[in-house]
Structure 1
Protein backbone atom coordinates (compact mmCIF):
# COMPACT_ATOMS: atom_id res chain seq x y z
CA UNK A 1 0.00 0.00 0.00
CA UNK A 2 1.27 3.46 -0.94
CA UNK A 3 -0.25 6.71 0.37
CA UNK A 4 0.20 10.19 -1.10
CA UNK A 5 -0.92 13.60 0.15
CA UNK A 6 -0.39 17.03 -1.38
CA UNK A 7 -2.79 19.61 0.03
CA UNK A 8 -1.51 22.38 -2.25
CA UNK A 9 -1.58 20.33 -5.44
CA UNK A 10 -4.62 18.10 -4.89
CA UNK A 11 -6.44 19.40 -1.82
CA UNK A 12 -7.26 17.69 1.46
CA UNK A 13 -7.29 14.22 -0.12
CA UNK A 14 -5.32 11.08 0.71
CA UNK A 15 -4.61 8.99 -2.38
CA UNK A 16 -4.28 5.37 -1.25
CA UNK A 17 -2.87 2.90 -3.78
CA UNK A 18 -3.59 -0.75 -2.90
CA UNK A 19 -2.48 -2.61 -6.06
CA UNK A 20 1.08 -2.64 -7.37
CA UNK A 21 -0.07 -2.12 -10.96
CA UNK A 22 -2.51 0.41 -12.33
CA UNK A 23 -5.43 -0.99 -14.33
CA UNK A 24 -6.03 0.11 -17.91
CA UNK A 25 -9.64 0.99 -17.19
CA UNK A 26 -11.35 1.78 -13.89
CA UNK A 27 -14.77 2.25 -12.35
CA UNK A 28 -15.32 4.47 -9.32
CA UNK A 29 -17.92 4.48 -6.57
CA UNK A 30 -18.24 7.21 -3.95
CA UNK A 31 -19.51 6.62 -0.44
CA UNK A 32 -19.36 9.61 1.90
CA UNK A 33 -15.78 10.92 1.89
CA UNK A 34 -14.44 7.76 0.21
CA UNK A 35 -14.15 7.11 -3.51
CA UNK A 36 -13.36 3.47 -4.31
CA UNK A 37 -11.44 2.71 -7.51
CA UNK A 38 -11.89 -0.75 -9.03
CA UNK A 39 -10.28 -2.46 -12.02
CA UNK A 40 -13.11 -2.54 -14.55
CA UNK A 41 -11.96 -5.91 -15.95
CA UNK A 42 -11.19 -7.89 -12.78
CA UNK A 43 -13.35 -6.00 -10.29
CA UNK A 44 -10.36 -5.77 -7.93
CA UNK A 45 -10.21 -2.77 -5.58
CA UNK A 46 -6.99 -1.07 -6.67
CA UNK A 47 -7.12 2.25 -4.79
CA UNK A 48 -9.28 4.67 -2.88
CA UNK A 49 -9.33 8.41 -2.26
CA UNK A 50 -10.17 9.79 1.17
CA UNK A 51 -11.58 13.33 1.03
CA UNK A 52 -11.43 15.72 4.03
CA UNK A 53 -8.45 13.57 4.98
CA UNK A 54 -7.18 15.82 7.77
CA UNK A 55 -10.32 15.10 9.78
CA UNK A 56 -9.51 11.38 9.75
CA UNK A 57 -5.74 10.96 9.56
CA UNK A 58 -3.02 12.83 11.45
CA UNK A 59 -0.41 13.68 8.85
CA UNK A 60 2.14 16.43 8.27
CA UNK A 61 3.86 14.88 5.26
CA UNK A 62 3.69 16.23 1.73
CA UNK A 63 4.16 13.60 -0.94
CA UNK A 64 4.48 10.01 0.21
CA UNK A 65 2.99 9.35 3.65
CA UNK A 66 4.74 6.79 5.85
CA UNK A 67 2.47 3.83 6.45
CA UNK A 68 2.56 3.16 10.17
CA UNK A 69 0.23 1.01 12.24
CA UNK A 70 -1.33 4.24 13.57
CA UNK A 71 -2.02 5.58 10.06
CA UNK A 72 -3.40 2.19 8.99
CA UNK A 73 -5.78 2.20 11.98
CA UNK A 74 -6.96 5.72 11.16
CA UNK A 75 -7.58 4.72 7.54
CA UNK A 76 -9.53 1.64 8.64
CA UNK A 77 -11.64 3.81 10.99
CA UNK A 78 -12.25 6.32 8.19
CA UNK A 79 -13.56 3.57 5.92
CA UNK A 80 -15.90 2.27 8.62
CA UNK A 81 -17.19 5.78 9.45
CA UNK A 82 -18.15 6.13 5.79
CA UNK A 83 -19.90 2.76 5.68
CA UNK A 84 -17.18 1.06 3.63
CA UNK A 85 -16.77 -2.47 4.95
CA UNK A 86 -13.31 -3.30 3.65
CA UNK A 87 -10.60 -4.86 5.81
CA UNK A 88 -7.19 -3.43 4.96
CA UNK A 89 -4.63 -6.24 4.76
CA UNK A 90 -1.31 -4.50 5.35
CA UNK A 91 2.16 -6.01 5.43
CA UNK A 92 4.32 -4.18 7.99
CA UNK A 93 7.39 -6.37 7.50
CA UNK A 94 10.52 -4.38 6.57
CA UNK A 95 11.10 -3.98 2.85
CA UNK A 96 14.84 -3.16 2.85
CA UNK A 97 16.83 -5.91 4.55
CA UNK A 98 20.28 -7.48 4.68
CA UNK A 99 20.43 -10.46 2.34
CA UNK A 100 23.00 -13.25 2.10
CA UNK A 101 23.62 -14.51 -1.44
CA UNK A 102 23.69 -18.31 -1.20
CA UNK A 103 24.16 -19.20 -4.87
CA UNK A 104 24.84 -17.42 -8.14
CA UNK A 105 24.19 -19.04 -11.49
CA UNK A 106 24.49 -17.72 -15.03
CA UNK A 107 21.16 -16.66 -16.52
CA UNK A 108 20.21 -19.17 -19.26
CA UNK A 109 19.00 -16.47 -21.68
CA UNK A 110 21.16 -13.42 -20.95
CA UNK A 111 24.94 -13.14 -20.76
CA UNK A 112 25.02 -10.15 -18.41
CA UNK A 113 22.43 -11.42 -15.90
CA UNK A 114 22.89 -13.74 -12.92
CA UNK A 115 20.27 -15.79 -11.09
CA UNK A 116 20.84 -15.63 -7.33
CA UNK A 117 19.22 -17.37 -4.39
CA UNK A 118 19.24 -14.97 -1.47
CA UNK A 119 18.49 -15.58 2.21
CA UNK A 120 16.59 -12.53 3.51
CA UNK A 121 16.01 -13.89 7.00
CA UNK A 122 12.34 -14.77 6.83
CA UNK A 123 12.63 -16.67 3.54
CA UNK A 124 14.92 -17.51 0.63
CA UNK A 125 14.09 -15.76 -2.64
CA UNK A 126 15.31 -15.92 -6.22
CA UNK A 127 16.54 -12.62 -7.66
CA UNK A 128 17.84 -11.92 -11.14
CA UNK A 129 20.69 -9.40 -10.94
CA UNK A 130 22.63 -7.57 -13.65
CA UNK A 131 25.46 -6.19 -11.50
CA UNK A 132 28.95 -7.23 -12.62
CA UNK A 133 30.23 -7.57 -9.03
CA UNK A 134 27.50 -9.84 -7.63
CA UNK A 135 28.75 -13.12 -6.16
CA UNK A 136 27.80 -15.95 -3.84
CA UNK A 137 28.69 -15.41 -0.20
CA UNK A 138 28.12 -11.65 -0.22
CA UNK A 139 26.01 -9.74 2.28
CA UNK A 140 23.91 -7.25 0.30
CA UNK A 141 20.89 -4.93 0.57
CA UNK A 142 17.69 -6.48 -0.79
CA UNK A 143 14.60 -4.46 -1.68
CA UNK A 144 11.79 -6.94 -1.20
CA UNK A 145 8.60 -7.06 -3.26
CA UNK A 146 6.46 -4.07 -2.26
CA UNK A 147 9.44 -1.82 -1.48
CA UNK A 148 9.31 1.74 -2.83
CA UNK A 149 12.72 2.92 -4.06
CA UNK A 150 13.87 6.53 -3.57
CA UNK A 151 13.19 7.03 -7.30
CA UNK A 152 9.52 6.14 -6.70
CA UNK A 153 9.80 2.77 -8.46
CA UNK A 154 7.84 -0.01 -6.76
CA UNK A 155 9.54 -3.42 -6.58
CA UNK A 156 7.26 -6.11 -7.98
CA UNK A 157 7.40 -9.81 -8.67
CA UNK A 158 8.87 -9.96 -12.16
CA UNK A 159 10.17 -12.26 -14.85
CA UNK A 160 13.43 -11.27 -16.51
CA UNK A 161 14.16 -13.05 -19.78
CA UNK A 162 11.96 -15.95 -18.71
CA UNK A 163 13.31 -16.33 -15.15
CA UNK A 164 11.19 -15.30 -12.11
CA UNK A 165 12.69 -12.64 -9.83
CA UNK A 166 11.31 -11.62 -6.42
CA UNK A 167 13.07 -8.45 -5.28
CA UNK A 168 16.16 -6.46 -6.15
CA UNK A 169 19.76 -6.53 -4.96
CA UNK A 170 20.54 -2.82 -4.62
CA UNK A 171 23.39 -0.51 -5.49
CA UNK A 172 24.29 2.47 -3.31
CA UNK A 173 22.98 4.77 -6.05
CA UNK A 174 19.60 3.00 -6.19
CA UNK A 175 19.32 3.37 -2.41
CA UNK A 176 19.99 7.11 -2.67
CA UNK A 177 23.06 6.92 -0.45
CA UNK A 178 25.34 9.96 -0.32
CA UNK A 179 28.63 9.68 -2.25
CA UNK A 180 27.35 6.63 -4.15
CA UNK A 181 29.82 5.55 -6.86
CA UNK A 182 28.82 6.15 -10.47
CA UNK A 183 30.12 2.82 -11.78
CA UNK A 184 27.70 -0.08 -11.97
CA UNK A 185 27.66 -2.52 -9.10
CA UNK A 186 25.72 -3.58 -6.05
CA UNK A 187 26.49 -2.37 -2.55
CA UNK A 188 28.40 -5.15 -0.76
CA UNK A 189 28.07 -4.99 3.03
CA UNK A 190 30.51 -6.02 5.73
CA UNK A 191 30.35 -9.77 6.37
CA UNK A 192 29.30 -9.04 9.97
CA UNK A 193 25.94 -7.65 8.76
CA UNK A 194 23.11 -9.80 10.12
CA UNK A 195 20.94 -11.54 7.52
CA UNK A 196 17.32 -10.41 7.67
CA UNK A 197 17.98 -7.26 9.68
CA UNK A 198 16.45 -3.99 8.51
CA UNK A 199 18.83 -1.94 6.38
CA UNK A 200 19.00 1.70 7.42
CA UNK A 201 20.95 4.35 5.57
Structure 2
Protein backbone atom coordinates (compact mmCIF):
# COMPACT_ATOMS: atom_id res chain seq x y z
CA UNK A 1 0.00 0.00 0.00
CA UNK A 2 1.30 3.35 -0.95
CA UNK A 3 1.86 5.76 1.92
CA UNK A 4 0.24 9.11 1.72
CA UNK A 5 3.05 11.66 1.48
CA UNK A 6 3.33 14.23 4.23
CA UNK A 7 1.95 17.62 3.34
CA UNK A 8 4.87 19.98 3.06
CA UNK A 9 2.85 22.87 1.68
CA UNK A 10 2.95 25.96 3.91
CA UNK A 11 -0.55 26.87 4.97
CA UNK A 12 -2.05 30.28 5.58
CA UNK A 13 -1.94 29.50 9.27
CA UNK A 14 1.84 29.13 9.03
CA UNK A 15 2.22 32.61 7.60
CA UNK A 16 -0.47 34.24 9.72
CA UNK A 17 1.75 35.23 12.66
CA UNK A 18 4.31 36.98 10.42
CA UNK A 19 1.65 38.69 8.35
CA UNK A 20 -0.23 39.75 11.46
CA UNK A 21 2.95 41.09 13.03
CA UNK A 22 3.75 43.26 10.03
CA UNK A 23 0.19 44.53 9.88
CA UNK A 24 0.15 45.28 13.60
CA UNK A 25 3.44 47.16 13.38
CA UNK A 26 2.19 49.29 10.52
CA UNK A 27 -1.05 49.95 12.36
CA UNK A 28 0.78 51.03 15.51
CA UNK A 29 2.99 53.36 13.51
CA UNK A 30 -0.05 54.87 11.84
CA UNK A 31 -1.78 55.34 15.19
CA UNK A 32 1.27 57.06 16.66
CA UNK A 33 1.49 59.36 13.67
CA UNK A 34 -2.20 60.20 13.93
CA UNK A 35 -1.95 60.90 17.65
CA UNK A 36 1.07 63.14 17.09
CA UNK A 37 -0.77 65.09 14.40
CA UNK A 38 -3.77 65.49 16.69
CA UNK A 39 -1.49 66.80 19.44
CA UNK A 40 0.09 69.30 17.07
CA UNK A 41 -3.36 70.52 16.03
CA UNK A 42 -4.46 70.84 19.65
CA UNK A 43 -1.32 72.80 20.47
CA UNK A 44 -1.86 75.13 17.53
CA UNK A 45 -5.38 75.89 18.77
CA UNK A 46 -4.03 76.78 22.21
CA UNK A 47 -1.07 78.88 21.06
CA UNK A 48 -2.77 82.29 21.45
CA UNK A 49 -3.63 81.74 25.12
CA UNK A 50 -0.23 80.26 25.91
CA UNK A 51 1.43 83.19 24.16
CA UNK A 52 -0.58 85.67 26.24
CA UNK A 53 0.35 83.78 29.39
CA UNK A 54 4.03 83.74 28.43
CA UNK A 55 3.90 87.46 27.69
CA UNK A 56 2.34 88.16 31.07
CA UNK A 57 5.27 86.36 32.69
CA UNK A 58 8.13 87.79 30.63
CA UNK A 59 6.87 91.27 29.77
CA UNK A 60 8.47 90.98 26.35
CA UNK A 61 6.99 89.51 23.18
CA UNK A 62 10.40 88.28 22.01
CA UNK A 63 11.02 86.48 25.30
CA UNK A 64 7.43 85.23 25.31
CA UNK A 65 7.87 83.69 21.87
CA UNK A 66 11.04 81.93 23.04
CA UNK A 67 9.23 80.66 26.10
CA UNK A 68 6.30 79.41 24.01
CA UNK A 69 8.66 77.62 21.63
CA UNK A 70 10.42 75.89 24.52
CA UNK A 71 7.06 74.99 26.03
CA UNK A 72 5.83 73.39 22.82
CA UNK A 73 9.09 71.49 22.38
CA UNK A 74 8.86 70.18 25.93
CA UNK A 75 5.25 69.11 25.50
CA UNK A 76 5.97 67.32 22.23
CA UNK A 77 8.84 65.36 23.74
CA UNK A 78 7.34 64.45 27.10
CA UNK A 79 4.45 62.20 28.03
CA UNK A 80 1.51 64.11 29.46
CA UNK A 81 0.25 62.80 32.81
CA UNK A 82 -2.97 60.87 32.23
CA UNK A 83 -4.97 62.86 34.76
CA UNK A 84 -3.95 66.31 33.47
CA UNK A 85 -5.89 68.28 30.85
CA UNK A 86 -3.75 69.43 27.91
CA UNK A 87 -4.48 73.13 28.44
CA UNK A 88 -3.65 72.97 32.13
CA UNK A 89 -0.52 70.98 31.37
CA UNK A 90 0.62 73.63 28.89
CA UNK A 91 0.24 76.37 31.49
CA UNK A 92 2.12 74.29 34.04
CA UNK A 93 5.00 73.49 31.68
CA UNK A 94 5.21 77.11 30.55
CA UNK A 95 5.30 78.40 34.11
CA UNK A 96 7.89 75.87 35.24
CA UNK A 97 10.15 76.62 32.28
CA UNK A 98 9.92 80.32 33.00
CA UNK A 99 10.82 79.79 36.65
CA UNK A 100 13.71 77.48 35.78
CA UNK A 101 15.18 79.30 32.81
CA UNK A 102 13.90 82.84 32.44
CA UNK A 103 13.54 84.19 35.95
CA UNK A 104 17.17 83.37 36.75
CA UNK A 105 18.34 85.13 33.59
CA UNK A 106 16.48 88.35 34.48
CA UNK A 107 15.05 88.65 30.99
CA UNK A 108 11.80 90.33 31.94
CA UNK A 109 11.58 93.82 30.55
CA UNK A 110 9.07 96.60 30.92
CA UNK A 111 6.00 95.56 28.95
CA UNK A 112 4.99 97.33 25.77
CA UNK A 113 1.39 97.55 24.71
CA UNK A 114 0.27 94.91 22.22
CA UNK A 115 -2.91 95.38 20.11
CA UNK A 116 -3.94 91.75 20.58
CA UNK A 117 -3.81 92.14 24.35
CA UNK A 118 -5.65 95.41 24.91
CA UNK A 119 -8.20 94.31 27.46
CA UNK A 120 -8.11 91.77 30.26
CA UNK A 121 -10.87 89.98 32.02
CA UNK A 122 -11.74 90.58 35.65
CA UNK A 123 -9.15 89.63 38.25
CA UNK A 124 -11.49 87.50 40.34
CA UNK A 125 -13.96 86.56 37.63
CA UNK A 126 -16.62 88.84 39.10
CA UNK A 127 -15.24 92.35 39.64
CA UNK A 128 -13.22 94.50 37.28
CA UNK A 129 -10.01 95.84 38.70
CA UNK A 130 -10.38 98.73 36.31
CA UNK A 131 -12.83 99.25 33.48
CA UNK A 132 -10.23 100.05 30.83
CA UNK A 133 -7.15 98.45 32.35
CA UNK A 134 -4.73 97.37 29.65
CA UNK A 135 -2.28 94.52 29.70
CA UNK A 136 0.53 97.04 29.56
CA UNK A 137 -0.63 98.62 32.80
CA UNK A 138 -1.26 95.44 34.72
CA UNK A 139 1.96 93.76 33.61
CA UNK A 140 3.88 96.85 34.66
CA UNK A 141 2.70 96.14 38.17
CA UNK A 142 2.72 92.35 37.81
CA UNK A 143 6.46 92.53 37.19
CA UNK A 144 6.81 93.77 40.76
CA UNK A 145 4.75 90.96 42.24
CA UNK A 146 6.22 87.77 43.71
CA UNK A 147 6.45 85.01 41.13
CA UNK A 148 3.74 82.86 42.69
CA UNK A 149 1.25 85.74 42.69
CA UNK A 150 2.12 86.74 39.12
CA UNK A 151 1.42 83.26 37.76
CA UNK A 152 -1.99 83.08 39.42
CA UNK A 153 -2.96 86.59 38.36
CA UNK A 154 -1.99 85.77 34.78
CA UNK A 155 -4.13 82.64 34.69
CA UNK A 156 -7.19 84.22 36.27
CA UNK A 157 -7.01 87.79 34.97
CA UNK A 158 -5.59 87.20 31.52
CA UNK A 159 -6.86 83.71 30.76
CA UNK A 160 -10.18 83.89 32.58
CA UNK A 161 -9.66 80.69 34.56
CA UNK A 162 -11.67 79.94 37.67
CA UNK A 163 -9.96 79.46 41.03
CA UNK A 164 -10.21 75.69 40.67
CA UNK A 165 -8.90 75.69 37.11
CA UNK A 166 -5.90 77.78 38.15
CA UNK A 167 -5.30 75.47 41.10
CA UNK A 168 -5.38 72.44 38.81
CA UNK A 169 -3.08 74.09 36.27
CA UNK A 170 -0.47 74.94 38.91
CA UNK A 171 -1.02 71.80 41.01
CA UNK A 172 -1.69 73.77 44.20
CA UNK A 173 -4.70 73.94 46.55
CA UNK A 174 -7.61 76.20 45.65
CA UNK A 175 -7.21 78.03 48.96
CA UNK A 176 -3.63 78.89 48.07
CA UNK A 177 -4.80 80.34 44.77
CA UNK A 178 -7.37 82.51 46.54
CA UNK A 179 -4.97 83.85 49.16
CA UNK A 180 -2.22 84.63 46.64
CA UNK A 181 -4.70 86.27 44.31
CA UNK A 182 -6.06 88.39 47.15
CA UNK A 183 -2.56 89.67 47.93
CA UNK A 184 -1.91 90.35 44.25
CA UNK A 185 -5.20 92.26 43.92
CA UNK A 186 -4.40 94.38 46.95
CA UNK A 187 -0.94 95.17 45.62
CA UNK A 188 -2.35 96.26 42.27
CA UNK A 189 -5.12 98.28 43.94
CA UNK A 190 -2.52 100.14 46.00
CA UNK A 191 -0.47 100.76 42.88
CA UNK A 192 -3.49 102.09 40.99
CA UNK A 193 -4.37 104.45 43.81
CA UNK A 194 -0.81 105.69 44.01
CA UNK A 195 -0.74 106.37 40.28
CA UNK A 196 -4.27 107.83 40.14
CA UNK A 197 -5.30 105.23 37.54
CA UNK A 198 -8.35 103.91 39.33
CA UNK A 199 -9.43 101.82 42.27
CA UNK A 200 -11.26 98.59 42.74
CA UNK A 201 -14.99 98.98 42.17
TM-score under structure 2 length normalisation: 0.22
Q: Which has the larger radius of gyration?
A: 2
* Higher relative helix content: 2
